[in-house]
Structure 1
């Protein structure tokens, strides 16, 4: 699932004492020594023992993340999938029960309002949207979808993620049957009579799960999961460095209304039928750029030396301004600083040498293919 974090991975904000809307696990985090920061109207745990250690633990074992700030929404009613395809460029109508898809909420010009996950269930479509944009997203859906489509915001559901190569071992002890899911599949389960909706997905590049659980049961569930020897609670600081290494964009930083799916290098989210038929917001521009190319493109960047290159740094080729960094920081698994940003399309070729301006100095950077480390999703049919 798409990710949100309160800050770049090495910059920790001041501790938050109060919040208007504490999340269900707020006291649980604080009892475990989490450093809490303000984000999207909530207090969120950014770290427990330290970002580096938490990042590496998730890559090697299993990390437990609280993502309850994100929005969970149900769509029901005749023609819901067809109506959503006006706003999303993905193939929604063909989804079968238990299948999920990454997609994008577009404005009328094709700019990205949010990135999201949508899943076909037996009687509805289940969507997870970013926490900072969830109320705007719901307002957009209510304005644009026909009256026949009912929108239900699941305010009483918490959402947690368990990520890492040993996530399946830990979760299967508690919820038998989850091991049968493959990447981008989801199903309903029960834990001590508590209904759970579990998908095999996540936003770290690792195998893992996202679990929707009634808010009044989430403390008991995370206690059971955290008691497994492979599992440690992980803050959103490590979630940021993990998703950056995995080459995954962060809404509000790497994605916004100024980028469309072609510029953002997310054309995989536009399936074959949608490319042939169009019919979604901004289709004329997006399909033209698919065929003829876009003026700029999101790329990965490796950084010479040890100085991190962070969001907002300008990118140059000689004296020419050619792009901007949108995410950056130290990558623990790579053991070097890395970044992501936008450059003019003629320079969006792996190996292109550029410079980033950091504190008045030029730092050599090189356009790189993403992800920076291989994804390790549990895909159906993949070689073992």
Structure 2
């Protein structure tokens, strides 16, 4: 969307559940699905020859709102709206708070409009509160086996403190339960983050899988912890590394961020202006949901509940380089970078190949004779024969005028009956591209090639759209030089 003309109009960019089941109307915490986060290259070589039944095009379900916010994944959380550890700081900094994924979250701040905040992130550095997301730790001799059952990733190939983007898969169907970033801390210890709006579903899913595993391998085979005593912030933008480096407590080579590459993490202390340091190390992961270089920083609160606020104020001590940013900028940044929002762009209705995310399936895991992850019998034939899929997730550039937003129907320009051939799942005017209307959605297989012109029904008017490669704004992740 362009500049936020009103808060309620601005909230349209948070999406609704066009891909989820009819009851699915709650928000997600915004994890990411960039292809670039894979820990190693994902070969797309066919792994099987059998053909899976094609899935139908996504249904457009009724859109539900609560307090003006469109939710984007599971059923709307019941009970009181929760607050992150930074809630008071958001209010003090002039945030417009909205209910999102069961939490009161900042949409934007009084010092910058949505577009200004978006551009600030692309040019300098923005700090996002993502403490609503769910941080997990899974350890024990069965941790690797359990995670390799519920995801299609080659987690056994990860080095210590290395991450990969992955997804939790339904058993049998191979549908995407949630997207997640998984970090291997040691041989048998993993840290991972899942979406706030999928908390209920994810915890039930993981509990059932863990209980089954323990029944077969003993109660000491796994230890699962929800890290409720940790806040999470994301520092994103081209200035992020220099800002963070100036605050890192010197500790030899470990404190040099030039050796911390995208998809890796490290425990670091920060130094405050008075010379004191953080009482516990912070888990700093070089990753993010904007396409920019940046870091997600997990902050322990067990020994000091005020530490998240103190760390945040430390980052904000140089307002010429770092500003707070909210959900509005977060959503437009991730769409420009071609990243998915759970419940809008992906759901249990899609397998990874069905969501054009075949690269999530590790190349070492594509042999049907040895594949043992959930849904492998459905997913591997789709990997081998993508032409059997009924639809593809693609990007669109839409002609000038009102943007094509989530739920807009895609039709064949040459078909006067306007038969549906797809649906938009995310869409808004791109701030970086001067307001060009961009969108993501699903389209009938065969019409997914770049340059294909289609029609989109926007406010009952037929608008021309062109299938476009993603991302619209190239990612700037920090990697070793070749």
| TM-score, normalising length: structure 1 | 0.94
How far off its partner does 1:7 sit?
4.1
| Partners of 1:328 and 1:304 in 2: CA distance | 12
Could you tell me how far 1:291 is from its partner in structure 2?
1.1
Name 2:72's counterpart in structure 1.
none
Counterparts of 1:359-370 in structure 2 under 5 Å? 359-370=459-470
Per the alignment, do residues 25 and 162 of structure 1 end up closer, same or farther by CA in structure 2, a change over 3 Å counting? same
Contact 2:14 2:327 in 1 (8 A): no
Instruction: Tell me what 2:326 maps to.
Output: 235
Who is 1:330 aligned against? 429
CA contact (8 A) 2:269 2:282 kept: yes
2:261 counterpart of 1:198: no
- Give the 5 Å matches for 1:5-84: 7-9=11-13, 20-48=81-109, 49-84=112-147
**What is the CA-CA distance between 1:103 and the residue it aligns to?**
0.2
Alpha carbons 2:13, 2:426 under 8 Å: kept: no
Residue 381 (structure 1) shift: 2.6
Shift of 1:180: 2.2
Contact map agreement 1:79 1:149 (CA 8 A) in 2: yes
Match of 1:158 among 231, 239, 257: 231
Give 1:334 shift: 1.4
CA displacement at 1:13 relative to structure 2 = 8.1
Q: Is the 8 A contact 1:71 1:134 kept in 2?
A: yes
Relative to structure 1, the CA distance from residue 275 to residue 8 in structure 2 (aligned partners, 3 Å threshold; closer, same or farther) is farther
Alignment partners' CA distance in 1, 2:81 and 2:447? 45
Residue number among 183, 190, 212 corresponding to 2:298 in the alignment: 212
Q: For the structure 1 residues 106 and 53, does the alpha-carbon distance in structure 2 shift closer, same or farther, using more than 3 Å as the test?
A: same
Matched, 1:119 2:183: yes
Counterpart CA distance in 2 for 1:297 and 1:9 is 22
Structure 1 residue 371 corresponds to structure 2 residue 371 = no
TM-score if structure 2 supplies the norm length?
0.75
- String of CA shifts for 1:253-278, please: whole Å, max 9, x gaps: 10101111001111111111111232
Q: Is the 8 A contact 2:14 2:331 kept in 1?
A: no
Task: Describe the SS at the equivalent of 1:256.
Answer: coil
SS in 2 for 1:347: coil
The aligned residue for residue 152 of structure 2 is 89
Which structure has the higher relative contact order (CA within 8 Å, separation 6+)?
A: 2
Contact 1:8 1:328 (8 Å CA) reproduced: no
Is 2:325 the partner of 1:255?
no
Render the CA deviation track for 1:342-372: whole Å, top value 9, x for unaligned: 0011111111101111111111111110001
Q: Within 1, Cα distance between the matches of 2:299 and 2:14?
A: 31
**Post-superposition shift, 1:151?**
0.8
Runs of 4+ in 1 over 6 A off after TM superposition: 10-13
What is the rounded CA distance, in whole Å, between the counterparts of 1:208 and 1:179 in structure 2?
Answer: 12
Match of 2:447 among 334, 347, 365: 347
Contact 1:204 1:242 in 2 (8 A): yes
Structure exhibiting the larger radius of gyration computed from Cα positions: 2
Shift, 1:178, TM fit: 3.0
SS in structure 2 of the partner of residue 340 of structure 1? strand
Following superposition of structure 1 onto structure 2, how do residues 279-298 of structure 1 map, counting pairs within 5 Å?
279-293=372-386, 294-298=389-393
Contact 2:81 2:99 in 1 (8 A): no
**Bigger strand fraction:** 1
Contact 2:282/2:297, CA 8 A, preserved across alignment: yes
CA distance in 2, matches of 1:34, 1:115: 28
Change (3 A) 1:14 1:269: same
Measured in 1, the distance between the counterparts of 2:481 and 2:371 equals: 30
**Aligned partners of 2:225 and 2:481: how far apart in 1?**
35
CA contact under 8 A between 2:11 and 2:68: conserved in structure 1? Answer: no
User: Could you tell me which residue of structure 1 aligns to residue 52 of structure 2?
Assistant: none
Whole-angstrom CA distance in 2 between matches of 1:57 and 1:112:
33
- Describe the SS at the equivalent of 1:298: strand
Shift of residue 14, structure 1, vs aligned partner: 5.1
Show the counterpart of 1:312: 407
Counterpart Cα distance in 1 of 2:465 and 2:400 = 9
Question: 1:184 is matched with which residue: 247, 263, 281?
Answer: 263
* Aligned counterpart, 2:36: none
Match of 2:162 among 71, 75, 99: 99
Confirm or deny: 8 A CA contact 1:19 1:43 kept in the other structure: no
CA RMSD of aligned residues (A): 1.8
Q: C-alpha separation between the residues in 1 aligned to 2:11 and 2:433? A: 20
Q: Residues of 1 paired with 2:463 and 2:91: CA distance?
A: 39
Within 1, Cα distance between the matches of 2:341 and 2:256? 31
